[in-house]
Amino acid sequence: MDPRLVIVGRPNVGKSTLFNRLARRKLALVHETPGVTRDRKEAQAALGDLRFTVVDTAGLEEAPPESLEARMKAQTERAIAEADLALLVIDARQGVTPADRHFARWLRGTGVPVVLAANKCDAADAESGLLEAYSLGLGEPVAISAAHGEGLADLYAAVARFLGPAAREAAPGAEAEEEGAEEAKPPRPVRLTVAGRPNVGKSTLVNRLLGEERMLTGPEPGITRDAIAVPFTFAGREMALVDTAGMRRRARVAKDLERMSVAETLRAIRLAEVVILVIDAGAIFEQQDLTIARMVAEEGRAMVIALNKWDLVEDRAAAVRRLRDALEASLPQLRGVAWVALSALTGDNVDELMPAVLAAHEVWNRRIPTPALNRWLADVQDRHPPPAPGGKPIQLRYATQVKTRPPTFAVFANKPELLPESYSRYLTNSLRQAFGLAGTPIRILPRRGKNPFARERRAKAKPGRKRPRAGRAGVTKM
């Protein structure tokens, strides 16, 4: 396991900017508003030849028990308990604050090694703050600018003192490259994104699946602001479980920070393989639920519906009817999508969710043999021939699956541009039924062209031209 470096500090000192710098990509939201980061965020990081896991944490603040800030601090404390090295970041422009002194004392009491980084040292007024940092009793501060990548060589030297051997072992070894030894690449984790409106229980469900209080939860709506990916194993399958910020209607999204959070959620949906859409069982398929579901279908992702807070529903039969009616009327493009009624808070029926997710993932990756597709195509045309605009019928000559994830099929026709949408829907519904593709988006691409096997069949059916026979005296008989 890679060594773990946990970045800590009070709000707005540049922890997430440094996290993105070490991860070498923008993974954490960065905004001038203090307290943007609330949950722990992890990534594989590199600093020179060192490889380690870097953890971004919420800003450390003193707060009353049971408050949101106190729960955020508890998340940071859990991260420190698992750390091999803590990186305390201060803002050199502001100098050392009482909060910096308080948390430096706290870190010294944890027994975890600490490196002190004075950030924003590219500013002209940062020198006095850098000198003041010595008073924290954490050794020589490392002057850096996370935003501009300055001071990383000094940071490397400080980190290597504590993580050097373990972090270099985690890096790709030179010996294996010289000997030409190649290890089999492990399969990529299945990427699951948990999405839904605010306060429907997404983070509570993620915690229940993980078996720990990994995500910050509470009665306050909109606690999750970032898309948080957490490694997860189920039935021997490696997964990346992504919790996301709640998505409100666009008209209600006013602040820049919320727009950034929604953009991260949309990105997580686009990168997902399966989306778990969490719906409040007490308010089934409000307009925003349908908007998110249609977005998942448009992006071509597999989907499973988690009907949460089922323990609070009194008339369950009526709730199931409302769900089925809404799916039939508003989501025909995901006909047959699986849904699981559960309670993330109590754990009731949560064990049925992941089998449904894996089943949806299998359908999303399914490939249909071409001969079976063309037998199906002939059969559907016999039962319901395509229309004949202008008296000239559209002929569907050949079908083949061109990709999976989602299942996508090319149907070659003499007049593909005239194939009506209603007939494409007929083909889609028939495909679902014939090949067990329930609940996954299906793409049908009409293409102009001929059956590629038609020429071969004509060649076999047409007798070959006979060679002329030679007559007597060299005269050729014609």
Mean pLDDT of 90-103: 89
Q: Is the Cβ–Cβ distance between 1 and 163 less than 8 Å?
A: no
Least confident of 33-37, 403-407, 430-434: 33-37
Q: Is the Cβ–Cβ distance between 241 and 192 less than 8 Å?
A: yes
End-to-end Cα distance, the chain? 84
What DSSP element (H or E) covers 148? Answer: none
Who has greater pLDDT, 256 or 41? 41
Q: Is the Cβ–Cβ distance between 1 and 83 less than 8 Å?
A: no
174: pLDDT strictly greater than 60: no
Who has greater pLDDT, 108 or 186? 108
What CA–CA distance (Å, rounded) separates 168 from 291?
47
Who has greater pLDDT, 467 or 355? 355
Who has greater pLDDT, 224 or 43? 43
Q: Is the Cβ–Cβ distance between 428 and 444 less than 8 Å?
A: yes
Ranked by mean pLDDT, the top range of 167-171, 172-176, 336-340 is: 336-340
Contacts of 367 (CB under 8 A, 6+ apart): 401, 404, 407
Task: Identify any residues that bridge with 286 across adjacent strands, giving them in sequence order.
Answer: none
Contacts of 185 (CB under 8 A, 6+ apart): none
What CA–CA distance (Å, rounded) separates 351 from 11?
38
pTM of the model: 0.71
pLDDT (tens digit per residue) in 104-151: 998 988 989 999 999 998 877 788 888 999 999 999 999 999 888 899
Tokens of 344: 């993330």
> Rounded to 5 degrees, what are φ and ψ at 227?
-90, 115
218: pLDDT strictly greater than 90: no
Q: What is the pLDDT of residue 375?
A: 96
What CA–CA distance (Å, rounded) separates 111 from 147?
30
33: pLDDT strictly greater than 60: no
Identify the CA nearest to 365 among candidates 445, 269, 301.
301
What DSSP element (H or E) covers 276? Answer: strand 274-280
Which letter does DSSP use for residue 281 in this model? T
Mean pLDDT of 294-309: 95
Mean pLDDT of 404-421: 93
Map tokens 């249609």 to a residue.
Answer: 294
The SS3 assignment for 398 reads: strand
What type of residue sits at position 272?
A
Least confident of 146-155, 201-210, 248-257: 248-257
pLDDT (tens digit per residue) in 414-446: 999 999 999 999 999 999 999 999 999 999 999
473: pLDDT strictly greater than 50: no
The SS3 assignment for 389 reads: helix
What CA–CA distance (Å, rounded) separates 127 from 146?
16
175: pLDDT strictly greater than 60: no
Percent of the chain's residues with pLDDT above 70:
79
Mean pLDDT of 213-238: 71
Contacts of 300 (CB under 8 A, 6+ apart): 405, 406, 441, 443
Confidence of residue 67 (pLDDT cuts 50, 70, 90): low
Task: Identify any residues that bridge with 401 across adjacent strands, giving them in sequence order.
Answer: 409
Who has greater pLDDT, 167 or 99? 99
Q: Is residue 19 left, alpha or beta, with left meaning phi > 0 and alpha meaning psi from -120 to 50?
A: alpha
**Cα 292-298-302 angle, rounded to 5 deg:** 80
Percent of the chain's residues with pLDDT above 90:
45
CA torsion angle 90 42 1 146 (round to 10): -40
Domains defined along the chain, listed by start: 4-174 (3.40.50.300), 190-364 (3.40.50.300), 370-461 (3.30.300.20)
- The strand pair at 237-243 and 190-196 is best described as parallel
